[in-house]
A and B are shown apart, each in its own frame.
Chain A
Amino acid sequence: MGPVVWTLSDEALLAGLGSGDPDAAAAFVDRFQRRVFGMSLSILRDRQAAEEAAQETFVRAWRHASAYDPRRGTVAAWLLTIARNTAINMLPSHRPYPVDPEALLGLQEPQPSKVGDGQLTPVSEPMREALMRLPGEQRRALVLAVFYGYTAREVSELNGTPVGTVKTRIRTALMRLRSELWVRDER
């Protein structure tokens, strides 16, 4: 494998994956395997199941690489969305799952500036900080919805909170994040 492939952008690697380039495929898997496996493991909490889900994620990415639209988000977000959906589908009967969102995301831990993906990736520190500023119940409801695909009713059953209250928390949380991050971006 030529060393140049390791410096290609995420988009270029994904294009290479879709077109059947072996070096690009190997580099793509190498670059994202830790994040994809991490996402799968966070949701499934079982290494064997997480490996299966992560592998399926890459197979789907390969098959649907041409469907990626850079105008709709980054390759990482696109791939992690596939990873999340794949893992959620593997959860046994999607029953309420005891999880602490703050532990899931390591929100209390300082984050490294480089993740082990072989290249520097933008750390979502503003996002993390904005999430930490949300009231705990909003943060928990939002993380359960975004990462586990919980509906408001499922969060309600998990927390013993009225459905209407949960809906309000999820909506308010996401709107607040959008407000904070868009204000920051426009400065």
Chain B
Amino acid sequence: MNGEMGCEQVRELAPDLAIGIADGQERDAALRHAATCPECRGLVSELSSVADDLLLLAPSHEPPPGFASRTLAAMTPSSPRPRRWFTRPAIPRATRRHPWMARLAVAASIVVALAVGAGAVYQGTSSDRRLADNYRSVLAQGHGSFFAAAPLQGPTGTLGRVFGYQGQPSWLFATLSRPAAQPEHFNVQLVTRDGRSLSLGEAVLGGTHNTWGSGIPVNITQVTQLRFEAASGQATMVAYLNAHSPWSSG
């Protein structure tokens, strides 16, 4: 089609234009007409709004953990407008009050890597020294003195694991190996050796949320329990910690 279009033809093509499926020649001719015809332009605009609104019906899905961090980090290297702030990892919304949480996640991943590495190193000769050197190196990075770990128990058995870190800051990090199908809100409580119960805020676990972490205001050796109490009151997960400093004689 290489001629000019009239209103009737453009009105027929308007839905295709609005959706973006009109072929090139027809589209060009129709748009030329619409540029000079307010009525046809208005119709295309209205239909475009309808098509846009249709997109709002797409279902929401929870993205994988860490999606926001990776996305913000991706908004930088090849950009013509490099921005310092995009290079920093985003902090999950629920934990933004703790600016060191990103470091915490990194450190926790080091714990896991170290544990895996430890298993391999143990197989080899002189493994203990290498492991110890590695362990000291990791601790030095975080001004820490030791790690601790304990299973996270739920009504149906072991649901995950809690890692603890004594350092500056000290923190606890929980990973779920068997998260519930649906996300659930938990109140997180820390119980100390002298019987105090300290709130660590809320956590959302289940579905695709399978990790939680927080700094703690006490020495890790003072912690006896980390409790996740469901807001619904129907489920509680507990990790019993009994950490002792490997550097003390007691």
Q: Which residues of A contact B (CB under 8 A)?
A: 1, 6, 20, 22, 25-26, 29-30, 33-35, 37-39, 41-42, 47, 50-51, 54-55, 58-59, 62-63, 72-74, 76-78, 80-81, 84, 104-107, 115-118, 122, 124, 127-128, 131, 142-143, 145-147, 149-152, 167, 170-171, 173-175, 177-178, 181-182
Contacts of B54 in A (CB 8 A): 124, 127, 131, 142-143, 146-147, 177
**Interface SS, A side:** helix
Q: Which of A73, A106, A177, A182 contacts B59 (CB 8 A)?
A: A106
Q: Is the CB of A174 within 8 A of B59?
A: no
Whether A55 touches B71, Cβ cut-off 8 Å, given contacts A47-B64, A174-B51, is: yes
Using a Cβ–Cβ cut-off of 8 Å, how many residues does chain B contribute to the interface with A?
45
Contacts of B91 in A (CB 8 A): 26
Q: Is the CB of B68 within 8 A of A152?
A: no
Q: Which of A20, A54, A77, A151 contacts B21 (CB 8 A)?
A: A151
Given contacts A39-B58, A174-B47, 4 further A-B contacts (CB under 8 A): A29-B72, A78-B52, A80-B52, A174-B15
How far in angstroms is the closest Cβ of chain A from B202?
Answer: 15
What is the CA–CA distance of A38 and B208 in the complex, to the nearest angstrom?
14
B19 lies within 8 A of chain A by Cβ: yes
**Interface SS, B side:** helix
Could you count the A-B residue pairs with CB atoms below 8 Å apart for me: how many are there?
Answer: 156
Q: Is the CB of B58 within 8 A of A116?
A: no
Q: Is the CB of B67 within 8 A of A37?
A: yes
Contacts of B15 in A (CB 8 A): 170-171, 173-175
Contacts of B71 in A (CB 8 A): 29, 33, 54-55, 58-59
Give the interface centre of A34, A50, A173, A182 by most chain B CB atoms within 10 Å: A34
Contacts of A145 in B (CB 8 A): 19, 21
Whether A146 touches B19, Cβ cut-off 8 Å, given contacts A171-B12, A178-B47, is: yes
Give the interface centre of A54, A59, A149 by most chain B CB atoms within 10 Å: A59
B25 lies within 8 A of chain A by Cβ: no
Q: Is the CB of A116 within 8 A of B96?
A: no
What is the CA–CA distance of A37 and B85 in the complex, to the nearest angstrom?
23
Q: Is the CB of B88 within 8 A of A22?
A: yes
A-B contacts, 30 listed (Cβ < 8 Å): A20-B83, A22-B83, A25-B72, A26-B90, A26-B91, A34-B62, A37-B61, A50-B61, A51-B63, A58-B74, A74-B52, A77-B53, A80-B55, A104-B58, A106-B59, A117-B60, A127-B54, A127-B56, A131-B54, A152-B16, A167-B16, A170-B16, A170-B19, A170-B21, A173-B15, A174-B15, A174-B51, A177-B54, A178-B50, A181-B53
